[in-house]
Structure 1
Amino acid sequence: MPSIRERARGALLGLAVGDALGAPAENMKPSEIRARWGRITGYVKDVPAGTDDTEYAIFSGLLLARHGSALTPAHVEAAWHEWIADRAEGPFRGAGFSERGTLENLRRGLAAPISAQHRHAWSDGLAMRAAPFGVFAAGRPAEAARLAAIDGSVSHEGEGIYGGQAVAAGVAAAMAGAAPIAVVASALAVVPDDSWTARSLRRAVTAAHRGERAVRSAVVIGGYPWTDLAPEAVALAYGAYAAADGDFRDAVLTAVNMGRDADTTAAVAGALAGATQGVAAIPADWAAAITPARGSCLPAMAGHHVLEVADLLTEDEETSVRPPDPTSFTLAPDTEAGVVR
């Protein structure tokens, strides 16, 4: 049975590995992935590298290590200024649409939650950085979700917040040794039952036993050009995790080969499976490719390694965390649409 420290390292190294594996397939369709690489079974670049997902997860992890459960929106806003908005930008200019909108608002002097009022507040930008909250609040999914919402208040609203909360809560449950079905239950328990996020998540895990094509068909918004929708990305990640029954390699590769926002979906699936199985489940050659952050997106994060963050968040590791009760999880059929909501 992995220790809390081993699960923490598995979660954050798993996130970074998933990010690096999925980055080349980002915004691609499965057919495009097959045409270029066949089925992706490992790194497809000679020098694998993570993206904004890893660097923002390090950002949130360091912020949480600094403030712990006393974290407030003011702390988060101050950190965005200290580590991102008031600094020179890296070559990737502060990451995705939600991050760009947030930075522009902060630089105009807008404060949280007004800083989150931009056209991409529903993105998966919080979900991609939410795993550290689950690591910190191991066995306490509700607390992990509370902290993720505080972090997200600067950059996200609505479904963007829910997606981050679902990831944080799931990781918190997995950190306590919960079975995959209870990990899913913990994610669903912290978001509104009738939210887009909850409906997509239920559809994904219900389809999981039929494989990645069924998961993708259950949640992807066909024809929509942006792939960073939080309800879609989080559901794809959980669908991959459920289809693999928590196995690290299978979960991450399933997420990668579904395409769409593949770096984020694989990062989230990797965090969930890494917390479930511990760091030893990550293939050694995959793990060895993860180096300290280069600061390509956030120069202030350069030199920090995800394992450093995992250790910071588990310095006072608990030995008595208990997994959630899997009997609390049910899938309610959607009687109107004939699918699981």
Structure 2
Amino acid sequence: MASSACVTSVPAPGGADELRERARGALLGLAVGDALGAPAENMRPSEIRARWGRITGYVAEHPAGTDDTEYAIFSGLLLARHGSALTVAHVEAAWHQWIADLDVPFRGAGFSERGTLENLRRGLAAPISAQHRHAWSDGLAMRAAPFGVFAAGRPAEAARLIAVDGSVSHDGEGIYGGQAVAAGVAAAMGGAPVDGVVAAALSAVPEDSWTSRSLRRAVAVAHLGERAVRSAVVVGGYPWTDLAPEAVGLAFGAYAAARGDFRCAVLSAVNMGRDADTTGAVAGALAGATCGVSAIPAAWASAVEAARGSCLPSMRGHHVLDVADLLVPEGEAA
């Protein structure tokens, strides 16, 4: 079980305008980081340098989010519907309604999503549906930001809710990765400084977990640069790049090195390669919640359109900003 330690340094959420600004920053930041990192997914820094020198903006002709953005929309809509009353049954039903029971292709999904989809279609229910070979993947971390937005200033509640969501698709370190991100975003939504955001993330996961060790190592060397962060957390020689402890460590390392600055955080994350769309998305969500939507460069923000449904056809037409607005508690909206 994750630690139940309280994060006393997290301030109360600000007023309506500030809360909306941070909520929009978190989810638009996720989508921007996803689109920036997508072309560099599964690449090494040397390969990135050989192809682009250094990524300083969109390198795709038509930048777009991947499964990271569409699954975050999926979880955001589910959370907006049920709020703190969310149950495993709600999550499982949504997987069936919006994904598993549809006779359409699901392109671009990660290993954990594919494994979950296969299990659900075989009639397996949670938590058995999460028993596949990639339950430790970063597929939960990539969709965790909406929980931090909803539970602004309440990292423990964000961590509790993302564990409910994740029980259908993940286990162990996969759950912990999602909890670290959700708690970190919740702290940032409450106005916590960078160190407080990191502390909130660490408080949400077991101290002796791989996720905790990876996150602490990354943040400890963040001031030394991207190479040091990669050396601290990347599992050399492992063929897949979707390890939750690794991706979460890289994202928090980039965020800490940038001291929360949006542009620096997402560019650092994507230029480290590996699962660059997910690390970019997580770093973007953290920095967006810290700085607000106005900190996202206009040229990057304007490129984010409604989801195309490339991975999840049922999410086509939904925009992350609309989801962010849905997650602002009633009575808090401007």
What TM-score, normalized by structure 2, do the two folds share? 0.94
Check conservation: 1:89, 1:298, Cα contact below 8 A: no
**Cα distance in 1 for residues equivalent to 2:331 and 2:221:** 36
Aligned to 2:148: 134
Deviation for aligned residue 1:141: 0.1
Check conservation: 1:89, 1:297, Cα contact below 8 A: no
Name structure 2 gaps, 5 residues minimum.
1-13
Name structure 1 gaps, 5 residues minimum.
320-341
1:4–1:19 CA distance, 2 compared to 1 (3 A):
same
AA at the equivalent of 1:37: W
Within a 5 Å distance, the mapping from 1:10-21 to structure 2 comes to 10-21=25-36
Aligned to 2:5: none
Aligned to 1:110: 124
Check conservation: 2:25, 2:291, Cα contact below 8 A: yes
Q: How many residues align?
A: 318
Check conservation: 1:84, 1:298, Cα contact below 8 A: yes
Match of 1:29 among 33, 41, 44: 44
Match of 1:57 among 72, 75, 87: 72
Deviation for aligned residue 1:316: 1.9
Q: Secondary structure at the residue paired with 1:46?
A: coil
**Cα distance in 2 for residues equivalent to 1:315 and 1:239:** 30
1:317–1:22 CA distance, 2 compared to 1 (3 A):
farther
Aligned to 1:216: 230
AA at the equivalent of 1:122: W
1:223–1:242 CA distance, 2 compared to 1 (3 A):
same
AA at the equivalent of 2:95: W
Aligned to 2:191: 177
1:234 and 2:248 matched: yes
AA at the equivalent of 1:85: A
**Cα distance in 2 for residues equivalent to 1:45 and 1:219:** 28
Q: Please list the CA deviations of residues 190-241 of structure 1 after superposition, one character each: whole Å capped at 9, or x if unmatched.
A: 1000000000000000010101110011000000011000000000000000
Deviation for aligned residue 1:88: 2.8
Check conservation: 1:4, 1:317, Cα contact below 8 A: no
Check conservation: 1:5, 1:314, Cα contact below 8 A: yes
Q: Secondary structure at the residue paired with 2:221?
A: helix
Check conservation: 1:101, 1:119, Cα contact below 8 A: yes
Aligned to 2:208: 194
AA at the equivalent of 2:195: I
Check conservation: 2:150, 2:329, Cα contact below 8 A: no
AA at the equivalent of 2:80: A
What TM-score, normalized by structure 1, do the two folds share? 0.92
**Cα distance in 1 for residues equivalent to 2:236 and 2:297:** 34
**Cα distance in 1 for residues equivalent to 2:290 and 2:102:** 37
Check conservation: 2:162, 2:182, Cα contact below 8 A: yes
Q: In percent, how many aligned pairs have the same letter?
A: 83
Q: Please list the CA deviations of residues 66-102 of structure 1 after superposition, one character each: whole Å capped at 9, or x if unmatched.
A: 0000000000000000000011334516x01000000
Aligned to 2:3: none
**Cα distance in 2 for residues equivalent to 1:97 and 1:30:** 23
Deviation for aligned residue 1:45: 1.0
Match of 1:264 among 259, 272, 278: 278
Aligned to 1:153: 167
**Cα distance in 2 for residues equivalent to 1:311 and 1:259:** 31
Aligned to 1:71: 86
**Cα distance in 2 for residues equivalent to 1:87 and 1:293:** 18
